[in-house]
Amino acid sequence: MYFDTIAAVATAPGEAGIGIVRISGEKALEIVDKIFRTKKERKLSDFQERRLTYGYIVEPDTGKKIDEVLAVYMKAPYTYTKEDIVEINCHGGMIPVRRILEIVLENGARLAEPGEFTKRAFLNGRIDLSQAEAVIDLIRAKTDSSFDVSFNQLEGGLSKEINEIREILLRMLANIEASIDFPEEDIETMTYEGLLDEGNNVLKRIEKLLDTVYTGKILREGLKTVILGKPNVGKSSLMNAILRENRAIVTDIPGTTRDIIEEYVNIKGIPLKIIDTAGIRETEDVVERIGVERAKSLLEEADLVIVLFDVSKELTEEDMEIARLVKNKKVVVLTNKIDLPPVVSREEIEKILPGKKIIETSIIKGEGLEVLEDSLKEMFFAGEIKIKDNTIVTNARHKSLLLKAKKNIEEAIESIEMGMPIDCIEVDVKDCWENLGQITGDTVTEDIIDKIFEEFCIGK
């Protein structure tokens, strides 16, 4: 495919040792030859490709030096976009990077749109759509586990599984066509039996992928974890302990935390989106009351709730209200302040929250925190995830398409078992094949492609 030549800054904004300006398109080398010179006045095209060349970016008209750089030319098709690419490595910082990008644009390039480099890699057939989506997941990965999952997808792990399922569906469609073209009774009977076996195989493999969705959501977005309890029970101290920094203000004054505080943290490979909330209590303070209502509303979306009780004081109606709020949620109960003389027993906590995991803690002394971290890991992963051995679905778009494909194949299986006309079965099988094709981009529409790449940063 033929495109114009695009350029963008490929490194994050701010101060750094190196900044990179990336140029892709058939005029990439021509543009850089106008603005790049070595000490002996040679151009980049005078040097061997794929080797960094030392020189300067200069203004073509005046010869004024803009920055001291290393430039490299990579010839198509063996590049990220399968087009000619030039990368200019300059001094990191807002000014040198911006000035070099401006001079590149003045000499024939266009500013790239968000994700346009990766979009070209997809449109030029270097990667499929699921691999392209893995690029942004790789950049946003918050733990080693989420990075490994994204890299597996970038390497084609999910694509391979989807393509194998689509191959089975193609065989089913071929058998259906043969049955339609040669409608002898014995062929039709064999077709129905074969379709049922293949259909059940497809269903099993789709369900196996869907079984990984919850784990994938945690790895991609983080486990949404709400810390809940009445005022002064130790919620902010717990958040600071988990984060290993003083993120939340801790005082003896009830109602110190009035708004929601959110942070990401990696606990033994699990990315947690941890949320410290206002203490649950009746209050006349308008701001604090809003915080309490927001804390309650967050429970609806939470994957996990960590509930704290102060065992050095008698249980109150506020404690009972919290227990009622979380009784149907996935909960870890922390009985805090065990370093003080106990007033509330473990049996009393078990009575108001039966069946929930209870961990005794003294957050101020760091007791019980290691047990909490181990418990979180056990609850959701039951041990180490062997990422390299599994294909995990992390993308909401993929989940939606897999659910559609599952419905399609279930309807096809039902039609086969009922002995429905073979052409009716063909419709569901083909829909299943097309929905799976949207994951890899084989059957996807242009507007969906545009929407996917809008989420990317400009330089990727």
% helix, strand, coil for the chain, step of 5: 50, 15, 35
- What's this model's pTM, rounded to 2 decimal places? 0.71
Sequence-distant (6+) residues with CB within 8 A of 92 are: 11, 14, 15, 16, 17, 18, 19
**Domains by residue range for the chain, with CATH:** 6-112 (3.30.1360.120), 132-212+393-453 (1.20.120.430), 223-381 (3.40.50.300)
pLDDT tens profile 73-132: 999 999 999 999 999 999 998 999 999 999 999 999 999 998 899 999 999 999 999 898
Q: Is the pLDDT of residue 394 over 70?
A: yes
Q: Which residues are annotated as a binding site for Mg(2+)?
A: 236, 257
Decide if 324 contacts 307 (C-beta within 8 A). no
The residue whose two tokens read 């495109």 is: 3
Work out the pLDDT band at 419, boundaries 50, 70, 90: confident
How far apart are the C-alpha atoms of 193 and 188, rounded to whole Å? 9
pLDDT tens profile 20-65: 999 999 999 999 999 999 999 999 999 999 999 999 999 998 989 9
Residue 128 is given by DSSP the state: -
Decide if 307 contacts 334 (C-beta within 8 A). yes
The residue whose two tokens read 């101020």 is: 364
Indicate the SS3 state at residue 62.
Answer: coil
Angle between helices 28-35 and 94-106 (to 10 degrees): 110
Angle at 220 between CA 217 and CA 224, to 5 degrees: 65
The residue whose two tokens read 């039609």 is: 415
Q: Which residues are annotated as a binding site for K(+)?
A: 232, 251, 253, 256
Q: Which residues are annotated as a binding site?
A: 22, 87, 126, 232-237, 251-257, 276-279, 460
| pLDDT of the residue at 183 | 60
**Side-chain-facing half-sphere of 304: CA atoms under 13 Å:** 24
Sequence-distant (6+) residues with CB within 8 A of 141 are: 147, 150
Q: Which residues are annotated as a binding site for GTP?
A: 232-237, 251-257, 276-279
Question: DSSP E strands: which ranges in 25-139?
Answer: 36-37, 53-58, 65-74, 85-91, 110-111
Q: Is the pLDDT of residue 216 over 90?
A: no
Residue 387 is given by DSSP the state: G
| Mean pLDDT score, 399-405 | 95
Q: Is the pLDDT of residue 385 over 60?
A: no
What is the percentage of the chain residues whose pLDDT exceeds 70?
Answer: 87
Question: DSSP E strands: which ranges in 92-149?
Answer: 110-111
Decide if 363 contacts 241 (C-beta within 8 A). yes
Q: Is the peptide bond before 254 cis (omega within 30 degrees of 0)?
A: no
Decide if 84 contacts 25 (C-beta within 8 A). yes
Q: Which of 325, 287, 309 is nearest to 231 (CA)?
A: 309
Q: Is the pLDDT of residue 248 over 50?
A: no
Mean pLDDT of the chain: 84
Q: Which residues are annotated as a binding site for (6S)-5-formyl-5,6,7,8-tetrahydrofolate?
A: 22, 87, 126, 460
pLDDT tens profile 287-326: 555 656 666 667 777 888 888 999 888 988 888 888 888 8
